[in-house]
Amino acid sequence: MDVTLLSMWKAFHHPDISLPVVRRRMGLELLETLEFLGDLGLHHMYAVLRNETAPDHRARDRAIDRLAKQGLAVVRRGLETPTLSISDVGLDSLQDYLRPEKWWNKTWSGIWYLLVFDVPEVDRAYRNTLRAFLKRLRLGCFQKSVWITPRDIRPDYDDLSETAALDAFACLFEAKTVLGMPAEKVVWESWDMDRLYEIQSHFCDLCRANAEALCGSGFVGQEELMDLVSLQLDAYRRAFVIDPLLPNALLPRDYRGREAYALHRDLSAEIRARLSV
C-alpha cells in the first residue's frame, strides 16, 4: 500500500464525539457501506471494514450471511467476483442520518410533542435507559425531565407504555407553543445547535480536503480508495449522530447539515466512479 497516498486522507477528530460511541455493530456498518457505494464486490467489503470492527474474514462472512438471511442484503454468487447489494428492506432499516432529506422535507404541523417524566431515584437504571432511548429518537432536552420533538411520537409512547410501563412515570403532551417562545428559540433551548454547527463545519472542511487530495492525486489504487471509504463513513456518522434532523421550517439559518450531506454524496460519487474503472 502506498503510505504517501494514505497520509493524504484526512481523518475526522472532534473531542466531543467518541468513535466507540458512534460505531455500530458490524452488520449495520456493512449496510451503511453498501448504501454509500452501491453494489460491492466481497473483496472490497473485506477491505473497507477496520480490524477493530471485523477481526477476521470468518467474522465478516458470518455478518454477511446474517444480513442475507434477514433479507437486508443480497449476495450474488456464481460470478467471477461475488457481489453484495443492499435490499429494499435493508434500506428501510438504515439509521435516519443516512436519509436526512426525508426528515428535512417533512412538513411541520406546528405542534410540539412534550414528554414529561418523573422517575424516582430508586429506578435510576430505568431513567438512564429512557433518556438514551429518547436521544435515539432525536428528542431535545428542553429541561431536565422535559423532552421535546416536532415529530408525532404517540406510536412510540404507546409502544413504551405497553412494553415498559412508561405511562406509570411519564405523560405526553401536545402544544402549539412552549412558554410562548418562538419556534426558533425552542430549538436552541432543546438542542445544542452551536456544537452541531462546529462539528458539521469541521466535517465540511474534511470533505473538501479529501476531495481535493483525491482529485489531485491522479491514479489511486482500490485499496487506498477503500481506506478513504472507511474514514469517510466514520466521519459522516460522527457529524450527524447528534443532529435532530428537524423539518426545514425549524432549521436555523446557519445550519450546515445540508452542505455536509451534499459534500458527502459528491465524494461518494467520485469514489464510486473510480472503483468502477
Q: How confident is the model over 58-68, as pLDDT tens digits?
A: 776 777 777 78
Q: Are residues 65 and 197 in the same domain?
A: yes
Number of domains in the chain: 2
Q: Are residues 15 and 79 in the same domain?
A: yes
Answer with the one of 121, 143, 175 that is the final residue of a domain. Answer: 175
Q: Does residue 183 form part of some domain? A: no
Q: Are residues 213 and 248 in the same domain?
A: yes
Q: Are residues 86 and 197 in the same domain?
A: yes
Highest mean pLDDT among 4-18, 129-143, 235-249: 235-249
Structural domain including 202 reads 3-101+192-275
**Which residues lie across from 173 on neighbouring strands?**
114
Higher-pLDDT residue of 197 and 122 is 197
Q: Are residues 97 and 116 in the same domain?
A: no
Q: How confident is the model over 201-260, as pLDDT tens digits?
A: 999 999 999 999 998 877 778 778 888 888 898 899 999 999 999 999 999 999 999 999
Answer with the one of 175, 204, 224 that is the final residue of a domain. Answer: 175
Q: Does residue 184 form part of some domain? A: no
Q: Does residue 90 form part of some domain? A: yes
Q: Does residue 180 form part of some domain? A: no
Highest mean pLDDT among 8-17, 57-66, 113-122, 179-188: 179-188
Q: Does residue 181 form part of some domain? A: no
Q: Are residues 70 and 127 in the same domain?
A: no
Task: Please state, as a whole number, how many other Cβ atoms lie within 10 Å of the Cβ of residue 84.
Answer: 22
pLDDT of 11 > 60? The answer is yes
- Coil, strand or helix: which one is 41? strand
Q: Are residues 77 and 125 in the same domain?
A: no
Q: Are residues 147 and 118 in the same domain?
A: yes
Q: Does residue 137 form part of some domain? A: yes
Whether this prediction's pTM lies above 0.85 is answered by no
Q: Are residues 123 and 145 in the same domain?
A: yes
Q: Are residues 94 and 115 in the same domain?
A: no
Q: Are residues 78 and 197 in the same domain?
A: yes
- Coil, strand or helix: which one is 241? coil
Q: Are residues 11 and 84 in the same domain?
A: yes
Report H helices in 55-192: 57-69, 88-92, 100-104, 124-136, 154-164, 183-190
Q: Does residue 135 form part of some domain? A: yes
Output the CA–CA distances (angstroms, integers) from residue 133 to 127, 128, 136, in the order listed.
10, 9, 5
Q: Which CATH number is 124's domain given? A: 3.30.70
Q: Does residue 97 form part of some domain? A: yes
- Coil, strand or helix: which one is 33? helix
